[in-house]
Structure 1
Amino acid sequence: MSDIKFEAGQRVRHPEFGEGIVVSSTADGYVRVFFPIGERQVFQDAISPLQTPTEQMLADVSGGKDRLRNAWLYVEAHALPLMDNAAAMTAARIDLLPHQVVLTHRVATASPRRFLIADEVGLGKTIETALILREMTSRGELNRALMVVPAGLVNNWHRELNEVFNLDFEVFGAQGDVTDRRSNAFAKHDRLIASVDTLKRRARVKRLKEAPPWDLVVFDEAHHLSAYKSGRKVRKTENYKLAEALRDHARDLLLLSATPHQGDHFRFWMLIQLLNPTLFKGPDDMVDKRHRLNAVVYRRTKADACTPDGSPLFTRRWVHTEAFTMSGRENAFYAKLREYLLDGFNLAKQQGNKGRALGFVMTIFQKIAASSFAAVRSTLRRRQLSLTIHEAILKDQALDIDGHLALMNEAREMIHTDHNLPRDQVGRIEVDQMLSDLKLKVIKKMDEEELAVAASSESSEVVVAEGENLAATAIAMCLPEERLRIKELLAVYPDEQETKIEKLIRALGTLWNQNPNEKVVIFATYLSTVDLLSRAIDTSYPGQGVVVLRGGDHSSKLAAERRFRKTDGPRVMVCTAAGREGINLQFSRILFNFDLPWNPMDVEQRIGRIHRYGQQYTAQVYNLVLSDTIEGKIFLLLMDKLNEIARTLGKVDEQGNVTEDLRGQILGQLNDRLSYDQLYRDALEDPTLQRTQQELEEAMSNANEARKVVFELFQELDSFSLDEYKPLANIDDSKSRIIRFLEQVAQKNKGKLIHMDDKRFKMLVRENESPVICTLDRELIQEDDTLELMGLDHPIMNQLIQQCKDYPATILGATADMGLGYPAVLTVWLIQSFGKGKEAVSHVIPIAVNSDGKRIPSVEKQYRSCFFTSPGKLSFSAKNRLSILNDHIEPTLQKELRHRAIATPEKGYSSELLAWVELA
């Protein structure tokens, strides 16, 4: 029988039951132990003592360079992600702005993390959120995160978080993606993006509550989380109820909105209640004590935004609207198209819920027509083909063989013509393959939700652009004899060059007469319009070159951007809506909006591609508008009203342009007061636009009033100061630490790091692996796309940090010769403090003491240098180490934590010993 005496509370291991804790021992050699499966009485020879990692480390301290390196790498793997300027060390290929770096640091290091981020449009709330997610992940403080966003922005968020920041989010509820049909997806998946409409259903809210809590929940466009007061009653929308449910099921909560206050103090107070219900007693208290909003609200305006050297972030911009009228033949086609749309909307209205899909299709067609007549012709032609195939299927089901064959042959003929395919055997095979694919699309059940998202002006412009395909194939509901109606409509299509194309071609000629090297960006929403534009420009100016940006993943966008950027590259970039996101075109100063999205905030997003950090000239923007179309008239009415408000307030510049801040504020408030879809749809029945004008004036007036109310309430919010950024801006030391870490871990892995020059290095992570050429210089990657931008969140860095974090405690006890002349010990601790809401904030803290327990601040200040001296002698026995730890180091650590307010009566904490280095 073993001589070991087991005591209550001691950790032990059993070969069958695993790890357990001793409850008591008996005189006859048996021990009662609590295991995960329950309490058991076992023979004491069957169990063995289990050392804690700290005990393992203290039992196995030894000298040697390898030991010092192991300990240093283990410490740095925990410490690097906690650097103050970690946000500035991201590997994402983005422009990092001072206000973004400061906000990320503030939020990531706060406790609790419950904030409203209310930066104005164009200041990068998506980037700020991604940086926060990235930094919290690096710190080990984020495992489960849920992004709740408007349906039309789901894909945008998915692309941004995954392609730019490598955050590995999944989409909930999308076809072929994560669903919850068979299991609770909220429990199975730790990083999800979901639309607010998908989540707010009762069954989904129930499943959300049943799943484990989230570390962080983010609500985008948070002003849609509304609660209203009517008399004494408070009415909470389903969106608001969802936010309440998630607030109580999440550690951290971020609300994002450029327009969080809609002019109603009660609604805004209810939004703040989601973050901190004790901050204000009510709306009046909030107005009286508005300075307290600083505790939960961050708002940066474009006036705050600046470059790292303090220069204004944005150069001036000049926006000009060029209005002109349709030709006679265009007018005739437009009138017939309008009849078709009106009949479609009327039938959709008569059919009620059954007609929703047709209403969405007509909305999409109305938007495509506002882009170009060529685009609407192309989509109508494709819809005609789908209707022909559908009719052929019905004939087949009715056993009308002749009718079926005739219609299928008609469909084949349309494919031959539209795709210019030869009528030989190869051409016929290709036509039959395309016909087969189309037949499957027609038979497939239509996703009405997808159609609704593509039709909505609240969706991102990228999603709206996907409406071309949906409108062509969504034929479950259609007009009587619609196939023949489309045929008649297309018969009056004007074959001459469109008026808008003529105007654009002429304008480009004028620009290139002045400067043949001028780079020009042209935006159009739909792919058919983009293709038309690229052909027309190539034909008129064959030497200038056109690059088309259709979309695709982030790397394909960057490739198109780089081609356009080259001095001898194409002079024109024509972009679909997909080109609006994730690319920087500030090296061009001219932008044409060939078509105008119904939501004017989308125009602002487009302008932001050239009018951004790095633009050296006045950004010149030209809006091309057909003034005798419904869309043109409404856009001009909107701009007239905006100009009128601006002139009244003295908010126009010397060129007569509405100042950018006012434009953003008014249009932002207008978004929640106006359904652009409804406005444009109703205008079809209102040729004089009298009702439309009244509705616009009322909405603009309300938006202006709301703007004033917001200004009053937010005037005591802290503005951004560059002084906050300066301590975070000096990243030279952080770069050196990253390089040193990479060098040391590569050496340990028998790889190497080779400096090519002062900015570039070649990294071989392990021997026999392919080298990667890297840089830590954010500007250099703009010039050299072969380089990898190394950062704390780069996959290589993540892999190496995790490798070091997995080192066993038995190799982390070391010795160092510091020339002290007396024995001492340096310990390095990882501390995680927890608030009432389980908020976790991490710290790395060095504690150094001599053998008498006296603290040595000089060693603590330069503790990292201890790992790069020569190995020293062993100063203590294993028993002495434990007594020094228990009697001196741990009490000193607790005092330090109280002094820093890391450990308080309201906060708990956990500690992990990262390294033990005996000094002499």
Structure 2
Amino acid sequence: MEVQDVPHSRVRVSLGEGVIERVRTIGGRDQALVDFLQPGRQVWLPYENLRQIKGARHRFIVGDTGPEDSAERFRFKSLAHALEMWNENTGSLSHLEIDPLPHQIHLVHHILASGHLNWLIADDVGLGKTIETGMLLAALKQRGHLRRVLLVTPAGLTKQWQEELNYKFKMGEFQIYGEDFMINEPRHWKMFDFVIASIDRLKSPENLEQVQQAGKWDIVIFDEAHRLSRRQYGMKLDASQRFQLAANLRRNTDALILLSATPHQGMQDKFQALLELLHPERKEEITTLALNPEIIGDMVFRNNKADVTDAEGNFLFKGKTTRSLPVHVSKEAKEFDKRLQDYLKKGYAAGAALGFKGNAIGFVMTVYRKLAASSVVAIHQALINRKARLEGEMLGGIKFDEIESQDQRFFGEWEEQLYTDAKEFFEGELELLDELIAEADGLRGDDRKLTGFIDQLISEILGSNPNEKVLIFTEYRTTQAYIRDALETRFGEGSVELINGSMPHTQRRDAIARFEDTANFLISTEAGGEGINLQRKCHIMVNFDLPWNPMRLVQRIGRLYRYGQKKRVVVFNLHSPDTADEQVMDLMYTRIDQVVDDLAGVSTEYNEQLRDDILGELADLLDVNQILEQATVEGVTRTQERISEALERAKAATEKQRELFEHAAGFDPNETGSSLRIDHQHGVAFVVGMFRMLSIEVVETTYEGRLFHIRLPEAVQHELGVERSRYEVTLDRDLVVNRPNTHMLDLDSFLMQYLLRKAKSYDFMGLSAVIENHSLKGGALLTSLLRWQNDQGNRMRQEYTAYWVKPNGDVQTNPDAFAEWLKTNGVTGTLTPIREKNQALFKQAELAADKRLQTVSNIHLHPENNQWISGAWLA
């Protein structure tokens, strides 16, 4: 007997619909054991709490065709389940401030469908590992599997992760260990379930002991997992403190996610150690990885830029053009550069003489070189600050040993605030500083880099299109303000917007909005290298200075060179070939391009995206800072040799990594082919239809039908517990960005949840129907929820599945024609079902469902149940 739980107390939530499995009399009271398929529970309940119902299976077999509008009710019930399950399996319909890409949706779907949550996500740089992680967490939250999360990141990225999860995924509950809270005793962990922590903070013995007392975590995530190093020397394993931290945390979770674009780095033993962290039970297989590389297909997921597409199958990237714009400086600027190089050599020598204690001096010299390559005002101000420090007129700043713990996005901005000792690095430094400051001050009146930038480049760009938008990058805020003043002098106040690390998120967002609306120029420090997307309004970028870390350049370009960019991206790199450091920079970037072309050229499937894949991998593997630091002392010839050596090592590592990752799981547009195909239009069809069903008035629609102005009837207001009756609602994320009072109808919306709950309820009906459909002719259409659990009975996976049982008995699962029909109005047909035929049709659907349960099952997934949702005859 099928029954519905009707609690005696009005404030209790019903357990839903279930099937009586057994009955008993105990203590003189009659009870029934009810199997509730949806929550996966069997409960003994008193008979008086149960209401007999007729479920989908019963109605279909006896031929109950439902009410006059049964086709529409069948459609909305199907849409409600389909939308909810798609979100549960991808996280793509939750409250996101992003537009998920197909490869991101597929990655989350693949991981959740695998039946386990122990994966290394190794996407190419710029494909959105942060977004994929947020979507994965959103999907787990939808499933009710997200109660305790620990996210471990490099020291400088804790705040960035907190911001991303808050602003893009509305997960504001994450707190940073050591900044937002501290733990004094183990019981305090009960107050903190969503934690972000720095890997270097946690690895210290006192903090490691604290976190080990935190208990079990639902999931632990390590960002930049290649920092977890364990090397093998003969039979000996040498594990770093970071790796030991991960191994300790692994004992407190059944789910571990590692994030790294370059987990291999040409070191097989280090890579195998990461895989052992994920799957310690498969240690023997992993030890022989070279003989069976295919095993990583169940451990590693990697998306490549060359493979990913949009929803229509088009490549995401339209290509880019990079142009180098040389700017020849004045004779006086060359003389200043020579004198500055002399200052730097003396500083490096003084630092080297002090050994380890002199590292800070070497670091200061390197910062000054980078500032000089940026702009004359940047080095001028730095030299003034140094002199003020020596004369005791400047206090405060960031100390050398604090730099590593700062937010890495704003590294250059921290360098400008570097705290230096109040004593000379070498004898005669103060006198040399006076000379350099005077010379730098004189150069500001004839800055040919700045005038060339405006006269040769910017004027030409705006001459072709006065409304063109230009994104300008620099590492330093001093240079940023300098460029702004020059541009506003030439093009007027309001033509320039800035974003940098000193600005809170809301100010940065407002500056970007003004740039996209009215301003011509947005000048960004490395704050713009993460988290902002400008591809919809801008396709031209100028690098006023080139970063010493090639990975930063890849990240800068990624602000424009990403999904949604309709034009070819044009990148201009300014450089002054007359100065020593810029000659080295030019040499480095030229050699990188040569190696990338070499690697990409050997492939028969060469395309621009492939070249960018390789550039991202190579740049991330390449450590050039030390080489450039030594260039002043060693000269250009030795520097050239060092760059070549470093590139050869990076090239070899890239080749090994690419060869191995051919076996990793990756983006496959057909992967979700067995699932019911759900898109934005299904959401719109469901909302519009349910508004009509529940008498929610659509007063008007604006923005080409994307924005609904609705009025709730009193009955709906009462059920929702709200006093307002008028709302602006939409399913379009782009509209919500600039309309703070517009309600987003995603799967976290209280109103959307109400519509879903209504459509799925028993009293809504739609359990059976006769449907007129020109694409699906004859036979029957049945739907069910298939469920799988792990080996301890915990639910791991659900699928909403439709079965078209044709008149000849053949069954097609999740036909595209059904997915299309869900978007259109359902028409109720006429037909007199015959019980014997109904039984035969239903039997075929049962066999198909059981086959699907069997096909998906593996060592991680075991069949749990099959809940029939609805059945219809096709007239």
* TM-score (norm. length: structure 1): 0.70
Shift of 1:672: 3.8
Q: Is the 8 A contact 1:589 1:617 kept in 2?
A: yes
For structure 2, the 5+ residue unaligned runs are 1-8, 10-25, 28-42, 55-66, 770-781, 803-812, 827-845, 871-875
Give distance in 2, aligned partners of 1:449 and 1:528.
23
Matched, 1:721 2:678: no
- The one of 510, 522, 535 equivalent to 1:559 is 510
Give distance in 2, aligned partners of 1:722 and 1:558.
33
Shift of 1:673: 4.9
- The one of 463, 468, 482 equivalent to 1:513 is 463
For residues 284-329 of structure 1, the C-alpha deviation after alignment (integer angstroms, 9 at most, x for no partner) is 7323322232112211211111121111211121112223444233
Shift of 1:701: 0.8
Partner of 1:579: 528
- The one of 145, 154, 177 equivalent to 2:149 is 145
SS at match of 2:313: coil
Amino acid aligned to 1:451:
I
For residues 237-260 of structure 1, the C-alpha deviation after alignment (integer angstroms, 9 at most, x for no partner) is 222222222222222221122222
Matched, 1:684 2:636: no
Matched, 1:661 2:661: no
SS at match of 2:325: strand
Shift of 1:598: 1.2
Q: Is the 8 A contact 2:470 2:539 kept in 1?
A: yes
Amino acid aligned to 2:558:
G
Shift of 1:801: 4.4
Shift of 1:236: 1.9
Q: Is the 8 A contact 1:836 1:907 kept in 2?
A: no
Q: Is the 8 A contact 1:651 1:658 kept in 2?
A: no
Partner of 1:731: 680
Q: Structure 2 matches for 1:638-787, cutoff 5 A? A: 638-646=588-596, 648=598, 651=601, 661-662=610-611, 664-665=613-614, 668-669=617-618, 671-674=620-623, 676-686=624-634, 688-724=635-671, 727-737=676-686, 758-762=705-709, 767-769=722-724, 772-778=727-733, 785=739
Partner of 2:447: 498
- The one of 248, 251, 255 equivalent to 1:252 is 255
Q: Structure 2 matches for 1:535-614, cutoff 5 A? A: 535-542=485-492, 545-550=495-500, 552-566=503-517, 569-581=518-530, 582-614=532-564
Shift of 1:741: 7.0
SS at match of 2:50: helix
Q: Is the 8 A contact 1:81 1:139 kept in 2?
A: no
Shift of 1:742: 8.1
For residues 567-619 of structure 1, the C-alpha deviation after alignment (integer angstroms, 9 at most, x for no partner) is xx222222222123322234322211001111111111111222222323321
Shift of 1:161: 1.6
Partner of 1:833: 789
Give distance in 1, aligned partners of 2:860 and 2:564.
46
Q: Structure 2 matches for 1:126-525, cutoff 5 A? A: 126-168=130-172, 170-173=174-177, 175=179, 177-180=180-183, 187-279=190-282, 281=284, 285-348=288-351, 360-382=363-385, 384-385=387-388, 391=392, 441=396, 450-454=402-406, 460=408, 462-468=409-415, 470-471=417-418, 473=419, 479=425, 486-493=433-440, 494-506=443-455, 507-525=457-475
Structure 1 pair 184–240 and aligned structure 2 pair: CA distance change class (3 A): farther
Shift of 1:336: 4.3
Partner of 2:835: none
SS at match of 1:548: strand
Structure 1 pair 915–163 and aligned structure 2 pair: CA distance change class (3 A): same
Amino acid aligned to 1:151:
A
Give distance in 2, aligned partners of 1:903 and 1:312.
33
SS at match of 1:134: helix
Give distance in 1, aligned partners of 2:260 and 2:46.
47
Moved more, 479-488 or 728-737: 479-488
Structure 1 pair 635–475 and aligned structure 2 pair: CA distance change class (3 A): same
Partner of 2:809: none
For residues 488-544 of structure 1, the C-alpha deviation after alignment (integer angstroms, 9 at most, x for no partner) is 532222232422212211211222333333322211122211111111122233399
Q: Is the 8 A contact 1:213 1:249 kept in 2?
A: yes
Give distance in 1, aligned partners of 2:308 and 2:154.
27
Q: Is the 8 A contact 1:753 1:764 kept in 2?
A: yes
Q: Is the 8 A contact 1:315 1:617 kept in 2?
A: yes
- The one of 555, 570, 574 equivalent to 1:620 is 570
Partner of 1:48: none
Give distance in 2, aligned partners of 1:186 and 1:637.
52
Give distance in 2, aligned partners of 1:78 and 1:354.
65
Give distance in 2, aligned partners of 1:346 and 1:112.
55
Q: Is the 8 A contact 1:759 1:775 kept in 2?
A: yes
Structure 1 pair 233–304 and aligned structure 2 pair: CA distance change class (3 A): same
Matched, 1:634 2:591: no
For structure 1, the 5+ residue unaligned runs are 1-12, 14-25, 28-50, 392-406, 412-438, 821-825, 847-856, 869-891
Structure 1 pair 133–730 and aligned structure 2 pair: CA distance change class (3 A): same
Moved more, 526-535 or 481-490: 481-490
Structure 1 pair 565–817 and aligned structure 2 pair: CA distance change class (3 A): closer
| Identical-residue share of aligned pairs (%) | 27
Q: Is the 8 A contact 1:828 1:915 kept in 2?
A: yes
Q: CA RMSD in A?
A: 5.1
Give distance in 2, aligned partners of 1:283 and 1:105.
25
Partner of 2:746: 792
Give distance in 2, aligned partners of 1:216 and 1:477.
50
SS at match of 2:633: coil
For residues 470-503 of structure 1, the C-alpha deviation after alignment (integer angstroms, 9 at most, x for no partner) is 31x5657874797776555322222324222122
Aligned length: 757
Amino acid aligned to 1:598:
W
Moved more, 76-85 or 627-636: 76-85
Structure 1 pair 316–835 and aligned structure 2 pair: CA distance change class (3 A): same
Shift of 1:374: 0.9
Structure 1 pair 83–498 and aligned structure 2 pair: CA distance change class (3 A): same
Q: Is the 8 A contact 2:597 2:611 kept in 1?
A: no
Give distance in 1, aligned partners of 2:735 and 2:497.
24
Moved more, 73-82 or 291-300: 73-82
Amino acid aligned to 1:683:
A
SS at match of 1:547: strand
Moved more, 293-302 or 275-284: 275-284
Structure 1 pair 904–533 and aligned structure 2 pair: CA distance change class (3 A): closer
Amino acid aligned to 1:775:
T
SS at match of 1:318: strand
Larger Rg: 1
Structure 1 pair 590–768 and aligned structure 2 pair: CA distance change class (3 A): same
Structure 1 pair 843–313 and aligned structure 2 pair: CA distance change class (3 A): closer
Give distance in 2, aligned partners of 1:634 and 1:815.
72
- The one of 522, 527, 531 equivalent to 2:477 is 527
Give distance in 1, aligned partners of 2:48 and 2:386.
72
Structure 1 pair 613–816 and aligned structure 2 pair: CA distance change class (3 A): closer
